[in-house]
Each structure stands twice: as structure tokens, then as C-alpha cells.
Structure 1
Amino acid sequence: MSEPCQAEACSLQTCLNKNTYKPEKCNERLRALYQCCQGMYDNNSDATSTACPMASVVKRWMKDHPDGKKDK
């Protein structure tokens, strides 16, 4: 079984590699990763994935970026 949210993490990394000097162009991919991680933690608070930050980091990021408007 593959790691949860690995596809989102790889997509973000690819975007960051392409946009070295403009990482803000990858905000949609960052949001997708954090949403995936949040879903994983919501389903199982003990879940882990090398693609995801700790649950508390995900929770704080989602709270600080509630609607995506700050991401753009």
C-alpha cells in the first residue's frame, strides 16, 4: 500500500521544482496536500504518512488558511 497523500506531496514537489523563485504558484497544490492530510487525520488520529506534517501543524495551517484566499 502506498503512503497516504504521497501523490499530493509529489505534485507539490514537482511544482516547487518548476517554480523555484515563485513558490506562491504552488499554493493550490499545498492546499491539496494539507486537505489530504487533514482527511487522513480525521479518519484516524493515529495515522501517519511521510508525506504529511504532524496533525497539529496541519490543523494550524488549515485554521490559518480557511478559505484559500490567503493562498493566492
Structure 2
Amino acid sequence: MAQKQNKEPCKQEACNIQACLSKNNFLPQKCVRVIELLQSCCEQCKYQSTHCASVAALLKQHK
């Protein structure tokens, strides 16, 4: 499983955001913690994940 994660880092964090948004009427302010976890993951992998493209927009929405 570690190989999959290296191939596509931050996938789990992105999935967690989708799940959180679905449970909370798609209100990003209700999912700040999981959005921050994705941002942290993206910073760690230097945004080398396709899942990092949306993090900037999500961060703007919840601030």
C-alpha cells in the first residue's frame, strides 16, 4: 500500500474532504481540519499530487 501512496500522495486526505463535505452540506467551514490535513500533505509532497490542485480554492472558501 505504501507504493500506491507514493504514486499518488494525498489521495486519502482528498477523499476525507469529499466525505466531510458530503456529510456537511458541502460547507467547507465545517471541514477546516481535513482541508488543513490535505494542505499539509501537499506541502510535504511539494504539490506533486493531482489532489493538491483544489486545495487552494478550498482554503479560500473557508477563510
The bucket for the TM-score relative to the shorter chain is: 0.5 to 0.7
Instruction: Provide runs of 4+ in structure 1 moved above 6 Å.
Output: none
Which of the numbers 36, 44, 48 marks the counterpart of 1:39?
A: 44
How many residue pairs match? The answer is 54
Larger-gyration structure (1/2): 1
Alignment TM-score, normalising by the size of structure 1: 0.60
Q: CA RMSD in A?
A: 2.6
Alignment TM-score, normalising by the size of structure 2: 0.68
* Structure 2, unaligned runs of 5 or more: none
* Structure 1, unaligned runs of 5 or more: 42-46, 62-69
- Give the helix-richer structure, 1 or 2: 2
